[in-house]
Amino acid sequence: MKCTVCEIGCDISEGNYGRCNMYTNQNSKLIERFPNSYLTVLPITIETMPMVHFAPKNKFLQVSTVGCNFNCQGCISETLTSNADALSGALTKASPTDIISRAKTEECRGIVFCLNDPAASYYTFLNLAKEAKKANLWVGCSTNGYFTETALKSLIPYLDFVNIGLKGSSNARYKECGAKSAAPVFRNIRILHEAGVHVETSAMYINAGDEEILKAAEEVASVSKDIPLQVMRFVPFGEAKPELEPTINKSEHIVDQLRSILNHVYLFNSPGTEYLTTKCPICGNEIIKREFYGPMGCRTIESLDEGKCPCGWQVPLKGPINNEQFTEYGMLGGYRTTRAIEMAHAILFTLGIRDNEELGDILGDIIKEDFIRGLHDRIQQIDSWLELIKDLAMRTGREKEGNELIAFIQERVDKINEGSKLIKSCPTVYYSMGYPLFALNAERFETNLVEAAGGICVNKSLTRKGKPGVNISVNEINKLSPEMMFISGFLSSPASDYVQYCKKHGIDNKAVRIGNICNVPTGWDFGSPRWILGFMFLANTIHPEIYSFDLENEQKEFYKRFYGIDVENVVTNRDFSRPAITTTK
């Protein structure tokens, strides 16, 4: 029989599954394999979804399942979308009544399905949406928009808002993700918009993909120039090649071009960018000011009353701006949750767990809200990081491998601690992510490593917190007066762009004047046990008179012992769990 949920239209024979692996043919009926079963049920702010022009700062209950009807290279949710069977053990049964009760208890204004595509759990989402509307809750989702017209029209009466994730504009680009063509997506945007559903779009901006995103914007503009477009700067996860990642600077240039096509275009995955803020097109006032708030997310930090400029221009919002800002704890909520899962995966990988079925069984056991909640605190200090490795090694029967990894790390930590006794003076150090004005939080692991390596981290004086940091002003960074500046190895920018930004914005301190600005190597400062390489890099850089770790040999040994690969045959990516893309010579 033919599946009618999405336009891929799988022909599913009796007892078999469709492309997304989430539906089966049972007695000539299309049956959802894991009905009313959720991987996450967490409260979030709507900008984390992300959604920028619908009920800003309001609190929603995020639900997600597993599986997806697409297979896109570099997917941020790959762990959830590609391992449906393996992760099924982590799913928790919950009826629509259960979910609605949780939303009410958490004082949420609505329910949003995101992280994986609702097409993978269509009937579960449809039934939940129906009951949520009866309970006077808003309902929305983030989707690739590949529903059949029939499936979409059945869902529309219960939808208030939707984010359509565009893969590009061409049929070729959609075929890369396993779809047939681009047309159904743009058709569905028009159907949703004309039905009165609040529509926002998001699109990955891939290096050399200017034409794809520009033409996609033109397609959206043909429906309405007021539909917001969220430009997601591509970050190479999984097997995606590093050269596909555009710089923040280059991404801002494409946003400038896109703003000549659509009225509201924003840049995500770019810490420190000013291109998340809504400005009045008449007088240039900042109406809604936002900052980076984790992968694929943002946060409203300031707004004029109801999004209205003193000159009278109104941001086209649907729903009120909430007075209070809900703050998700740690990595709970939004796409930060996928990073937490990947961190656990990263440790398991170094313990030698490579088989997908075994990995899925283990992840299914640990992907629980309490584990993810506790994970955030356990990755902020060296000792607790080592305890986390020990914990996962014991859970998986890999005590020997865990002890070997811990011993490798501890030996190098001890050498740095021993060298610290020779330090006569500690330079002041600033740690940023992306652009200079996005400062990592005071208690972050990276800032703790700086101090353990003999620096005085000026981030420690910052009191406001974000995910994983906050925007600060030029005056603030100049007052911090760092002698050294480090750029995170995750969601990074080239040092040359960083310096250019400093000059353009009047950032003037000793580090800038003497050019003491360093990129931490990709994947070495956060998210995986490779942080020990970054720790040695920091020690070498902050105190070259004391430390002289041979980082090339250290990397070779780490990769060989804990990944089983030769470093000469890899290309480093941004992925936590998989260290690099293996190449052949």
Higher pLDDT: 423 or 571? It is: 423
3-class state of residue 151 by DSSP: helix
- Which range scores top for mean pLDDT: 336-340, 460-464, 567-571, 581-585? 460-464
Sign of CA dihedral 109, 288, 48, 173: positive
- Tens of pLDDT along 71-94? 887 777 776 766 677 777 778 899
- Tens of pLDDT along 253-266? 999 999 999 999 99
Q: What is the mean pLDDT of residues 496-506?
A: 95
Would the pLDDT of 139 be above 80? Answer: yes
Taking all residues of the chain, what is their mean pLDDT, rounded to a whole number?
Answer: 93
Encode burial over 4-18: b for 16+ CB neighbours within 10 A, e otherwise.
bbbbbebebeeeebb
CATH architecture, range 34-328: Alpha-Beta Barrel (3.20)
- CA–CA separation, 204 and 214 (whole Å): 11
Fold of 423-582: Rossmann fold (3.40.50)
Q: If you search the block for the tokens 């003076």, which residue do you land on?
A: 425
- The two tokens of residue 55 are 């009920």
Backbone angles phi, psi at 329, to 5 degrees: -80, 135
- Beta strands of 492-579 (E only): which ranges? 517-519, 570-572
Greatest CA span in the chain, whole angstroms?
Answer: 77
Residue of 468, 432, 470, 429 lying closest to 450 (CA atoms): 429
pLDDT at 585: 44
- CA–CA separation, 301 and 545 (whole Å): 43
pLDDT at 371: 81
pLDDT at 383: 97
Q: What is the mean pLDDT of residues 231-250?
A: 88
Residue of 403, 328, 341 lying closest to 371 (CA atoms): 341
- CA torsion angle for 409, 366, 76, 389 (degrees, to 10)? 0
Residue of 187, 203, 205, 98 lying closest to 148 (CA atoms): 187
Which part of the chain is CATH 3.20.20.70? 34-328
- CA–CA separation, 218 and 252 (whole Å): 18
pLDDT at 546: 98
- CA–CA separation, 208 and 20 (whole Å): 29
Q: What is the mean pLDDT of residues 278-301?
A: 95
Backbone angles phi, psi at 198, to 5 degrees: -70, 120
Residue of 110, 108, 162 lying closest to 134 (CA atoms): 110
- Tens of pLDDT along 304-342? 989 999 999 999 999 999 999 899 988 888 888 888 888
- CB 545 within 8 Å of CB 366: no
Q: What is the mean pLDDT of residues 294-313?
A: 94
Would the pLDDT of 582 be above 70? Answer: no
Q: Are strands 59-64 and 110-113 parallel, antiparallel or unpaired?
A: parallel
What predicted TM-score, i.e. pTM, was given to this entire model?
0.94
Which part of the chain is CATH 3.40.50.1980? 423-582
Q: What is the mean pLDDT of residues 538-560?
A: 97
Interacting residues of 13 by C-beta distance below 8 A, sequence separation 6+:
25
